[in-house]
Amino acid sequence: MLKALKEEVGRAQYPAYFRDAARLEARATAINLYAVYAVPGLLQTEDYARAVFQMQRPLLPDEVIEQRLEARLARQEVFSRRPAPLMSFVIEEAVLRRPLGGWETMRGTLEQILLTAQSRHVEVQVMPTAREDNAALGGPFTLIDTDKGQRIAYAEVQDDSRLYTDATKVRELEARYGILRSQALTPRESSAFVEKLMGES
């Protein structure tokens, strides 16, 4: 009962539109995420995450920023969980070139991405802006394999979100993600790309 209560209190730290996804993410066996606007929360440093929250409009109260920051960083415990979930990220190049919080903050974030990508259960791929093909122009989304053996899709835009459990919709997004991965740089090429960006910053 105490464990359930702790989880419930933890979920309350998230914005309402993200709570269900956070619960699924924490117990996922696999996560596949396509990022278009900002570095995914799971890969953000504390400074980057704080900058993201401080930029939100209307402005968030300081106590809400700190609450959400704590919750976002707590989500990263998923990387050290055992058994570790398989994780794949496809990140648009523009995201990695957008210095949210300033170049020093961005450099620290790029370094964290590189370090995280070295884990055997994590793959990070960059989608170059110069690519002529992109299978997911409809926006960012996440595919979550639950501990119950179900695959669920999650999409979020402008503080609104939707969880998809319908098999047809989930298969459609699975197909998009598979094509995206084939269009993006390989994980090794992506690490080299991020290292190059760090040298430029």
pTM of the model as a whole: 0.90
Domains of the chain, each with CATH number or no CATH: 2-200 (3.30.870)
- CB-CB contact of 150 with 144 (8 Å): no
Q: CA 140: distance to chain centroid?
A: 10
Please give the pLDDT value at position 20: 84
- CB-CB contact of 121 with 85 (8 Å): yes
Conformation bin of residue 158: beta by default, left when phi > 0, alpha when psi is -120 to 50? left
- Per-block mean pLDDT, blocks of 10 residues, the chain (201 long): 50 67 92 98 98 96 96 94 95 98 97 97 98 95 95 89 94 97 98 95 72
